[in-house]
Structure 1
Amino acid sequence: MALELIGKLVKVLPEVTGQGKNGPWNKQEFVIETLDSQYPKKVCLTAWGEKASDLKQFADGDTLKATFSAESREYNDRWYTELRAFRIELTEGDGAGAPAPGYAAPAGRPAQASRPAQPSQPAGMPFNTTFDDESNDLPF
């Protein structure tokens, strides 16, 4: 499963290298902040091998589109998730024709148009008022 994330490059972490049974390896983690102005999120992704050296061409603050796959592994009854970036591209800041900021859409498939905004709850509405499923969307 391939996903895409568009955001601002916040930080490139130090490169990590090692020696495995198949030879030397290297990886580098980097942090992207989504462009959603109301609820921006920071996401840490990992670039392996030659993709780690590709990160050197980008500067903090650049708007990037990262195509990645998500994988989780278990170790000692704990689960560890890695977002492995396999394509990192510089994007234009205008966002024309791009998916919604920070939206992770399957790669190769266009992002669906978002639903029209739902009216917010009036100030005097009681807490226990029921809503239909359509208006009960949370921002997270």
Structure 2
Amino acid sequence: MYTLVGNIKVINDTQVISEKFRKREFVVTDNSGQYPQDVLFQLTQDKTDLLNDMQLNEMVSVSFFIRGREWTSPSGEVRYFNSLDVWKIEKQSGGMPTPQDMSPASSDSAETFVEEGDDDLPF
């Protein structure tokens, strides 16, 4: 699990992909380095509601997992996709993030993430 601290730049509406899957994407700007980075995150299933009380430009701490998967198109082309799946998002009280805010969390504090179902969606 990783953590990033930054300001919310974009909050998208929840997308219903199927009866069993919904997601919500948002962008956080990381200003800790020399150049600001806009990072796209996603929330899935019940976690899509975590953004309901958040506002644009609000400073947040985002705890997330890096997920990757292989997908084969109907024509046989193999592609790889990455996503940053959010586990937790918390409001922060001002101040610039420090380098330790972006370091990987210790492995003993990480929870195991189990994906429900295995579909052919490319994300």
Q: What TM-score do the two structures reach when normalised by structure 2?
A: 0.73
Determine the structure 1 residue equivalent to 2:7.
8
Describe the SS at the equivalent of 2:61: strand
Distance 1:100 1:12 in 2: 25
Q: What is the aligned-residue RMSD (CA, Å)? A: 2.0
User: In percent, how many aligned pairs have the same letter?
Assistant: 22
Q: Determine which structure has greater relative contact order: mean sequence separation of CA pairs < 8 Å that are 6+ residues apart, divided by chain length.
A: 2
Counterpart in 1 of 2:68? 72
For 2:27 and 2:80, the matched residues in 1 are separated by 21
Letter in 2 for 1:67: S
Aligned residues: 102
Runs of 4+ with >4 A deviation: none
Deviation of 1:46 after TM superposition, in Å, equals 0.4
Q: CA deviation at 1:41?
A: 0.3
Question: Match of 1:38?
Answer: 34
Which residue of the partner structure matches residue 17 of structure 2? 18
How many angstroms does 1:71 deviate by?
Answer: 1.1
Pick from 54, 60, 68: which aligns with 1:58?
54
Matched residue, 2:121: none
Deviations 1:67-109 (A, max 9, x none): 00001111232110010001000011124xx6328x5211248
Are positions 1:99 and 2:98 aligned together?
yes
**Unaligned runs of at least 5 residues, structure 1:** 110-140
Q: Which runs of 5 or more residues in structure 2 are unaligned? A: 72-76, 108-123
- TM-score, normalised to structure 1's length? 0.65
Contact 2:17 2:23 in 1 (8 A): no
